[in-house]
Amino acid sequence: MINLENEYLKVSFASKGAELQSIKSKQNDKEYLWDGNPDFWAKHSPVLFPIVGGLKNNTYYFEDQKYQLSRHGFARDHEFQVTQVSTTEASFTFRHTPETLKIYPFKFSLKISYALKDNTLTCTYAVSNPDDTNGLLFSIGGHPAFALPATEQLKYSDYFLEFNTDDELVYHKIEGDLIDNETMTIKLTNKTLPLKHELFYEDALVFKNLKSNLISIKNTKNNHGLTFQFEQFPFFGIWAAKDADFVCLEPWCGIADGIDHNQDLKNKEGIIELAPGSEWQRKWSVVCF
């Protein structure tokens, strides 16, 4: 475990997957991250790389070659090299290997950095293409699960999401890990979405045109919660395992295959092409209160 700490928060990470494991407030002793209960979902905040979501038949084609990748890619299952810069900053790096090149024929360097400042944790993804001649095709996304604990005072339906811009949510349904063309619309009252377990019984809500860049998790019983901030992520998912007391807020640069996709990686919706020698960055942050 790698730990970072300041006067407001104490956070923990695993080197496997560079995965965030805990966000604990030192002000109110509240744990903001899901505990990874395997009866529901054994992860906390995996990185999705080099794909987001599922591929049709777990298969893609690149330059007439057939490859297979499981849902959300492989980075979350690999050990990252750890570099701890200070008590409030840490970074983790994962690079291509002979094994990854067999299923994903691209050289890459993925660096995930975390930084604490006051009551805010920021996560930065930096993808580099070390190849001298070939472009790098990839997608990446976050999958942090935030705890919505049931207590004598609080139940899941007391929590709600508050969006800074959207008055309605237009989402795509998921069919067999793929994105359906059909959309559904949820009208919001005062830009808020009340949470209920039934929202996620048919998998995640997937958005291609979310306007908001701030989503707060609040409840009707007290003033504690968090604000999730993200920029330049064109896709977004909201999900929870069936009847589990958490909600995932998932900023994505990339998306699962559509049901009509031809499986050519170059034509995959949301795929990013990074030129040789180039670097690409995105970040999201959590403000706890």
pTM of the model: 0.97
**Domain locations in the chain?**
2-288
Question: By the 8 A CB rule, do 212 and 165 touch?
Answer: yes
Side chain identity, residue 130:
P
Smallest CA-to-CA distance from 270 within 250, 251, 253 is with: 253
Alpha helices for 23-173 (secondary structure H): 98-103
β-strand 89-95 against 192-194: which pairing, if any?
unpaired
Q: Which pLDDT belongs to residue 129?
A: 98
Distances in whole angstroms, Cα of residue 239 to Cα of each of 65, 88, 112, 173, 253: 33, 29, 23, 12, 17
CA 234 to chain centre: 13
Q: Which pLDDT belongs to residue 85?
A: 84
Q: Which pLDDT belongs to residue 64?
A: 94
Provide CB contacts within 8 A for 285, sequence distance 6+: 120, 121, 122, 123, 228, 229, 230
CA 148 to chain centre: 17
Q: Which pLDDT belongs to residue 25?
A: 97
Within 13 Å of residue 203, how many CA atoms lie on the same side as its CB? 15
φ, ψ (nearest 5 deg) of residue 103: -110, -10
φ, ψ (nearest 5 deg) of residue 88: -120, 5
Q: How far apart (Å, rounded) are the C-alpha atoms in residues 133 and 131?
A: 6
Smallest CA-to-CA distance from 239 within 227, 252, 224 is with: 252
Q: Which pLDDT belongs to residue 219?
A: 97
Rg (C-alpha) for the chain, rounded Å, is 19
**The CATH number of domain 2-288, selected from 1.10.10.10, 3.90.1150.10, 2.70.98.10, 3.20.20.70:** 2.70.98.10
Q: Which pLDDT belongs to residue 151?
A: 86
- Give the three-class secondary structure for 27: coil
Q: Which pLDDT belongs to residue 84?
A: 79
- Give the three-class secondary structure for 245: coil
Query: CA-CA-CA-CA torsion for 284, 253, 71, 120, nearest 10 degrees?
Result: 0
Side chain identity, residue 66:
K
pLDDT one digit per residue (tens) for the chain, 289 residues? 999 999 999 999 999 999 999 999 999 999 999 999 999 999 999 999 999 999 999 999 999 999 999 999 999 999 999 987 899 999 999 999 999 999 999 999 999 999 999 999 999 999 999 999 999 999 999 999 999 988 888 999 999 999 999 999 999 999 999 999 999 999 999 999 999 999 999 999 999 999 999 999 999 999 999 999 999 999 999 999 999 999 999 999 999 999 999 999 999 999 999 999 999 999 999 999 9
Instruction: List residues bridging with 222 in a β-sheet.
Output: none
Q: How far apart (Å, rounded) are the C-alpha atoms in residues 50 and 67?
A: 13
Q: Which pLDDT belongs to residue 40?
A: 98
DSSP for 159-182?
A: EEEEESS-SEEEEEEEETTEEEEE
**Two structure tokens written together for 207:** 């958005």
Distances in whole angstroms, Cα of residue 9 to Cα of each of 22, 110, 168, 288: 10, 26, 33, 9
Question: By the 8 A CB rule, do 55 and 69 touch?
Answer: yes
